[in-house]
Amino acid sequence: MPEHSLPNLRDMTLEEIEGFIAARGKEKYRARQIMKWLYWQGAASFDEMTDLAKDFRIALAGLARIGQPDVEAIQTSFDTTKKILFRLEDGLSIESVLIPGKNHWTICVSTQAGCRMGCRFCLTGQGGLKRSLRPSEITSQITVLQRALPEGPQIRNIVLMGMGEPLDNYDAVLKAIRIITSDYGLGFSNRKVTLSTCGLAPMIEKLGADICINLAISLNAAENEKRSELMPVNRKYPLKELLHACRNYPMPGRRMLTFEYILMAGVNDSARDAEKLVDLLKDLHCKLNLIAFNEYPGSAYKTPSQESVSAFQQILLKNHYTAILRASKGRDIFAACGQLNGEESHVSSTAPATPPSSAFDTENRRG
C-alpha cells in the first residue's frame, strides 16, 4: 500500500489510537506511549519510538504513517514576528505566524488553505477556499515550530486565527483542539487556546457544548447593513442571531468573550460607529480588541489615523468597556491581521519603516 494512503497517526486522538491498535491485538496503553513520542518528543518515524518492541514498530509502519507539513520559508519582521510558509503533502501552502510577547511567544495557526467566507477586507479570502486542513496539518504547525525554531519552546499561547474560518472546518478543528489540550498530546491548558470566528452562529453554540476554549468574534460593524457589506456571513447569520449564540457560549470564571473590531478609515471608525457598538454589546460580558486595518496591494480599504483609532477607543472606555488597541505586528512581511495568503511575501511598501507607536498594545491577533 502506498505510504500516503495509510492513516496518519497525527490525525487521531488518544482514544482513536487506542482503538486502532486494540483492533490489531495490541494493548491500549501503548497508545499513550505513541502519543508521547508524537507530541512530547516530536518523533517523525516509528524507529524513534524506542520503548516499543521492534516487531510492533515494524508492524505499525505497515499500518500507519506519521505525516506533517514541511517548512518552505521563514520571514522575520523588524519587530521579530516570524511568518512561516508550510508546504502540504498535496502541494498546497499555508502560513503560520509566531508573535513575540513578554517572555513568551504566541502561535497563530491556520485551519484551512484559503477561505470561503469572502470578508471584503481580508486578503486570505480573495483566492477562495482550496481545502480544509486535516487535524495533523493543524497541530503540526505547532509541533514542527516547537522544534525547528529557537523560539519554539517558548510558545505559550495558541490562536486559531490564521488562514481560514475554523468553524467551517469544525470536526478537524475540534479534534486538533482535543489533541492540543490533551495531557498526552501537546498539553496546553484550554485557557491558552483561542478560536476566532467570523460568526457562524450555530457552530458557536456547538463549540460551546463540545469544548471550553476562549472565543473571539470578528465583528467589525455594529449594524447589519454595514456588517453584511464587509462580511457576507452576516446575511446568513445577522447580528441578533450571532449575539444570541455568543450569550449562550460558556465562559467560566472571570473569562470574557472577545470581540475583534478592525477599524477601516471612513468605513467603521467614526464616533457614531463606536456609540452603536456600545449599545450593541451593552449586556455582554466581553472585551474588545481594536485593530487598525492592515493594507495590502490592491486593498479597497485604508488604515485609519492613530487619532481616530484613539478617539474610537475612548468612547468605549468611557462606557466601561475593556477596549485594547492591538499593534499590528509583522506588517512589513504581510504577517498581520488579514494579510495571510499562503505565499511567500516581499517586504510591504505600505508598512511603517519603524516599529508601531508605544500607544498601541504589543500583542496582536491574526486573520
Selected catalytic residue, list 27, 48, 95, 119: 95
* Interatomic CA distance for residues 210 and 227, integer angstroms: 28
* Beta-strand pair 93-100/105-108: antiparallel
Q: What angle do CA 111, 112, 118 make, to 5 degrees?
A: 115
Selected catalytic residue, list 119, 122, 246, 337: 337
Angle between the N-to-C axes of helices 170-181 and 135-148, in degrees from 0 to 180, rounded to the nearest 10: 40
Count the helix, strand and coil residues of the chain and give each as a percent rounded to the nearest 5: 35, 20, 45
Catalytic residue check, 286: no
Q: How many angstroms separate the Cα of 15 from the Cα of each of 18, 33, 52, 341? A: 5, 13, 18, 34
State the maximum Cα–Cα separation within the chain, in Å, rounded to a whole number.
Answer: 70
Grid coordinates standing for 130? 482550496
Q: How many angstroms separate the Cα of 169 from the Cα of each of 129, 144, 197, 268? A: 11, 21, 11, 29
* Interatomic CA distance for residues 105 and 364, integer angstroms: 11
* Interatomic CA distance for residues 144 and 3, integer angstroms: 20
Enclosing H/E stretch for 269? none
HSE (side-chain half, CA atoms, 13 Å) at 89? 13
Grid coordinates standing for 251? 465562559
* Residues 6+ away with beta carbon under 8 Å from 2: none
| First-last CA distance in the chain | 39
Catalytic residue check, 95: yes
Annotated catalytic sites, by residue?
95, 337
